[in-house]
């Protein structure tokens, strides 16, 4: 017999209604965990970026327009791409000219600060100067406005290089993934909370559905949810028309001798079930006490 019960339990289908009600009841926990995870992710990443980046980083981005000597070198443009220019900007022909216009600046400081980009049009070169010394960054950017055009005077493939923009210095943070960190933290919080809700649901002894009730009290009819077709059909068949029925619930149940006598004198008792709130332990006390008092339990209504 015990083996059969275990087998029936293992083969029993998942009660999706119960799972949904359990999840709905604890939805606020899932939302709170996701929010807390997002806040923690954002805060931890902000702290990490502050430690990692150290001092404030500044940057200036200036565009230069390159005019090629197509007449004498029709294929000359093929020799210059983003990678080529990025290296040229840190080579001696340009760096040495920049040094002539900078006092107290070392060559390596320039090399470490300057990079080049070509984002679309091959004729537009963006010179990026980055560092933690605000004044030094401005000086290097200004020096390149002289050094880069002078480079075109030495190269026959180039006609000239013209400064296109004179941008203002800006604060630059290389660690700008707070949004990603917040999303990851929220996602982790969501997964952890969902797992916790599922685990808690395994040990949750609250009564959520008709199946829960039948498993616990198979001899007490489940009449259905009040004011539904199921409830009206069951009560019309199982209860006396115009009968005297007393409703009780876990919250208002009392050990009162006079009340038990009144219940025995009635046609029966109907138990009000608060789905998801009434615990099995509390409901056991109500059901078994009524049976010991020889009270007719006509059914349960949700």
Q: Strands 297-301 and 268-272, how do they pair?
A: parallel
Residue 52 is encoded by which pair of tokens? 């990692």
Question: Residue 141 burial (CB < 10 Å; 0-12/13-18/19+)?
Answer: buried
CA of residue 101 relative to chain centroid, distance: 51
Residues forming a β-bridge with 68? 158
3-state secondary structure the chain: CHHHHHHHHHHCCCCHHHHHHHHHHCHHHHHHHHHHHHHHHHHHHHHHHHHHHCCCEEEEEEEEEEEECCCCCCCHHHHCCHHHHHHHCCCHHHHHHHHHCCCCCCHHHHHHHEEEECCCCCCEEEEEEEECCHHHHHHHHHHHHHHHHHHHCCCCCEEEEEECCCCCCEEECCCCCHHHHHHHHHHHHHHHHHHHHHHHHHHCCECCCHHHHHHHCCCCCEEECCCCHHHHHHHHHHCCCCCCEEEEECCCCCCCHHHHHHHHHCCEEEEECCCCCCEHHHHHHHHHHHHHCCCCEEEEEC
Whole-number pLDDT of residue 8: 47
**Angular region, 299: left φ>0, alpha ψ -120 to 50, beta rest:** left
For tokens 């007393």, name the residue: 246
CA distance 249 to 294: 17
Q: First CA to last CA across the chain, in angstroms? A: 32
Report the predicted TM-score, pTM, of the whole model to 2 decimal places: 0.47
pLDDT for 54: 58
302 residues of the chain, pLDDT tens digit each: 444 444 444 445 566 666 667 677 778 888 888 899 888 888 887 787 667 655 678 899 999 999 998 888 888 787 888 888 899 899 999 999 999 988 888 999 999 999 999 888 889 999 999 988 889 999 999 999 999 999 988 888 889 999 999 989 988 765 567 788 888 888 898 888 888 877 777 777 777 777 888 888 888 899 888 888 888 888 888 888 888 999 888 888 888 888 889 998 888 888 888 887 778 788 888 889 899 999 999 888 88
Q: In CATH, what number does 56-166 get?
A: 3.30.70.1130
Q: How is the chain split into domains, by residue range?
A: 56-166, 210-301
């Amino acid at each position: 017999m015990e083996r059969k019960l275990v087998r029936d339990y293992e083969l029993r289908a998942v009660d999706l209604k119960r799972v949904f009600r359990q999840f709905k009841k604890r939805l606020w926990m899932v939302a709170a965990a996701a929010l807390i995870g997002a806040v923690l992710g954002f805060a931890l990443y902000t702290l990490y970026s502050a430690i990692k980046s150290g001092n404030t980083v500044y940057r200036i981005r200036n565009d230069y327009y390159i005019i090629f000597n197509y007449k004498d070198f029709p294929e000359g443009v093929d020799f210059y791409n983003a990678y080529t220019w990025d290296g040229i900007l840190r080579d001696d022909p340009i760096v040495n000219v920049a040094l002539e216009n900078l006092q107290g600046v070392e060559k390596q400081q320039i090399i470490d600060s300057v990079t080049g980009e070509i984002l679309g049009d091959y004729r537009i070169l963006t010179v990026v100067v980055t560092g933690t010394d605000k004044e030094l960054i401005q000086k290097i950017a200004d020096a390149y406005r002289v050094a880069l055009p002078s480079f075109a005077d030495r190269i026959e493939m180039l006609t000239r290089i013209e400064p296109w923009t004179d941008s203002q210095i800006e604060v630059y943070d290389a660690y700008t993934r707070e949004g990603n960190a917040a999303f990851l933290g929220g996602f982790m919080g969501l997964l952890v909370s969902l797992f916790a809700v599922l685990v808690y649901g395994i040990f949750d002894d609250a009564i959520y559905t008709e199946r829960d009730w039948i498993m616990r009290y198979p001899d007490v009819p489940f009449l259905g949810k009040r004011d539904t077709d199921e409830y009206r059909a069951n009560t019309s068949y199982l209860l006396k028309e115009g009968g005297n029925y007393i409703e009780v619930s876990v919250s208002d149940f009392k050990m009162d001798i006079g009340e038990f006598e009144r219940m025995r004198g009635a046609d029966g008792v109907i138990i009000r079930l608060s789905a998801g709130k009434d615990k099995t332990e509390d409901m056991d006390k109500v059901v078994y006490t009524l049976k010991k008092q020889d009270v007719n339990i006509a059914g349960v209504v949700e």
